[in-house]
Amino acid sequence: MTTKITHFGFRQIASAEKARKVTDVFNSVAPKYDLMNDLMSFGMHRLWKYYALLLTGVRSGQRALDLACGTGDLTARLADRVGPTGEVWACDINSSMLALGRDRLTDRGIADNVRYVQADAEHLPFPDRYFDCVTIAFGLRNVTEQKAVLASMFRVLKPGGRLVVLEFSQPRPWVKRVYDLYSFKALPLMGKLVTGDARSYRYLAESIRMHPNQTALLAMMQRAGFERCDYYDLSAGIVAVHRGYKL
């Protein structure tokens, strides 16, 4: 039997190994995850997530699913938008990140309309046509089978629902040299100094380069069945927000 291959950063590995390796990365970085996000992005990740929230169009009383929810930044924003009559599911495959997110949101008093589930995004444990909106922020590049995840998200969306993907992407050419230097030199050093783990942040830089660029991801969403797909570059294309509808 032929072993199916995928990538983990720049390395090629058996597909069956990727979920475990990604789990190891996030178990390692979880305690300082929020601090590192602020340091790495100079606080810009908060603005990127706010822009993604605006594109969701979620309203009071609706249901939203936040995949790869991490420590709950986007979950909290969605919960505020859907209000007490709405429902937000925070989903992550990593138990450490999910626990941090739950504790963080509970401490902030965000609890009544948020549910938590540990699950693989390729096999979502929800009925067909359940959600008005699905979001995934900085998580799509870490999954093993992106096509399967897009299909899974399409399945759980209601007709008229939308998918919003916030992810690192391909920056403008005039930014690339400085961005590469920052990614491969500064990020691992920062990771070593703050978390004691340079390797995980080297993987972060590599995983970004292996992720489909803006137009490639747009085409993947269209092949998964999404319509009226578009994307918006942020910070000179370092980050992009993709949006698509299930019609």
pLDDT in tens, 153-162: 999 999 999 9
Confidence of residue 142 (pLDDT cuts 50, 70, 90): very high
**Structural domain contains residue 94:** yes
Tell me 235's DSSP state: G
pLDDT at res. 93 = 94
pLDDT average, residue stretch 145-174: 97
Q: Is residue 186 part of a domain?
A: no
Domain count, the chain: 1
pLDDT at 64: 98
Domain assignment present for residue 206? The answer is: yes
Sole residue written with tokens 């899974």:
152
Residue 177 in any domain: the answer is no
The range of the structural domain enclosing residue 43 comes to 5-172+202-245
With 80 as the cut, is the pLDDT of residue 2 above it?
Answer: no
- The predicted model gives 113-130 an average pLDDT of 97
Residue 97 in domain:
yes
CA dihedral in degrees (179, 183, 184, 187; nearest 10)? Answer: 140
Alpha helices in the chain (DSSP H): 15-29, 33-41, 44-56, 73-82, 95-107, 146-156, 173-181, 187-195, 198-210, 214-223
Residue 78 identity: L
CATH number at residue 212: 3.40.50.150
100-117 pLDDT, tens digit each: 999 999 999 998 999 999
The span from the CA of 247 to the CA of 235, in Å, is 30
Structure tokens that stand for 229 in this block: 């797909």
State residue 1's pLDDT score: 58
- Residues paired with residue 114 on neighbouring β-strands, in sequence order: 88
181 in a structural domain: no
**Residues pairing with 116 in the sheet:** 90
Q: What is the pLDDT of residues 9-40, one digit of tens each?
A: 999 899 989 989 999 999 899 989 999 999 99
Are 164 and 246 spatial neighbours (Cβ–Cβ below 8 Å)? no
- Rounded Cα gap, residues 54 and 116, in angstroms: 23
- Mean pLDDT, the chain, rounded, equals 95
